[in-house]
Amino acid sequence: MRALVITAPGVAEVQEVDEPVVGPGEVVVDVHRAGICGTDVEFFTGEMAYLHTGHAEYPMRLGHEWAGVVSEVGEGVDPAWLGTSVTGDTMLGCGHCRRCAQGLQHVCEDRFELGIRGGKPGALAEKVAVPASSLHSLPDGVDDVMGALVEPGGNAYRSVQGAQLSRGDRCLVLGPGTIGLLCALFARAEGAEVHVLGRSERSLAFARELGFIAWTEDELPDLAWDAVIEASNAQHLPAKALDLVEPGKRVVYVGLAGLPSTIDTRDLALRDVTAVGILSASPGLSGTIDAYASGAVDPRPLIAATVTLEQLPGILAGERPDGAGPGPKIHVTMQEEKSQ
């Protein structure tokens, strides 16, 4: 089968590789659609921290945002999964430790992360093998486009849940990338007044197209923010988020900068602010699927372009596909898709 393989920093190619062999408790999925995110780009450039901590090494097969159909089941797996449209969890815990037993497999010390950590091949390929326990079925009304947006959506869903918004609250999202805009969509679905802070006019204009109030840092008005969700990769914005949020309210950190960010915990304590950190989509996948299925959140406008596997090396190197729209997300198609 064809799969994208990164062999060194700045070197990616589509290779013919062996199809996955299904193991006990696993399924093989025919991948229909997958997404590219900033983590994938960091692996391509060689900047991703896991490459320097021993959690990942080249060659690598990326892909953790995906949707497809189960084509094979392993020993101990219910055959009813065959033919089911699915997506799956990225975080694959060991299944034996205290954290896994408490439902916290996404912070298991010995976890695999599909296409990211521990050498587990990802879904930027025609087929992928995953544990059946990681699967989430996609109901009617959730097509492959939305299915491949469940994983980033889960991070945003959890971020908004962590903000504990009430109807009429004013929420500020820092960073108009995929996660930030998904946070804005979920916050609006909760009935909040949503503002977005960004830098480029293109990204701010797109946020306004989606119906949000968008500002640059210099323009941001002095308003009372009931929640601030920090979804950028800017080193200074975590501290600014804490400065901006109303006393007694919540700041959520889901973005990661390339260098350490610092906050003054005296401000956190003396203003009685609750800070919430979000690592993964895992506990939010079901809620995200429900929101997509009900129509409460429609993530599809975020897709700028859909490309082939062969176009991916150029995309990872920073090329913008011809005719790409204003959204932040690039998707890849591998096989015939399920449409809504």
For 227-237, write each residue's pLDDT tens digit. 999 999 999 99
Residues 142-155, mean pLDDT to the nearest whole number: 98
Question: Token match 């062969």: residue?
Answer: 310
Which CATH code fits 2-149+299-333? 3.90.180.10
**Residue 320 pLDDT class (50, 70, 90 cuts):** very high
- pLDDT at residue 144, rounded to an integer: 96
For 237-293, write each residue's pLDDT tens digit. 999 999 999 999 999 999 998 889 999 999 999 999 999 999 999 999 999 999 999
Please determine whether the domains at 2-149+299-333 and 152-277 fall in the same fold group of CATH: no
Architecture of domain 152-277: 3-Layer(aba) Sandwich (3.40)
Q: How far apart (Å, rounded) are the C-alpha atoms in residues 287 and 184?
A: 16
Kindly tell me if the per-residue pLDDT of 156 is higher than 70. Answer: yes
b/e map 63-77, b = 16+ CB within 10 Å: bbbbbbbbebbbeeb
Residues 100-128, mean pLDDT to the nearest whole number: 95
Quote the Cα angle for 297-303-309, to 5°.
135
Domain ranges of the chain: 2-149+299-333, 152-277
Considering the chain, what is the average pLDDT of its residues?
A: 96
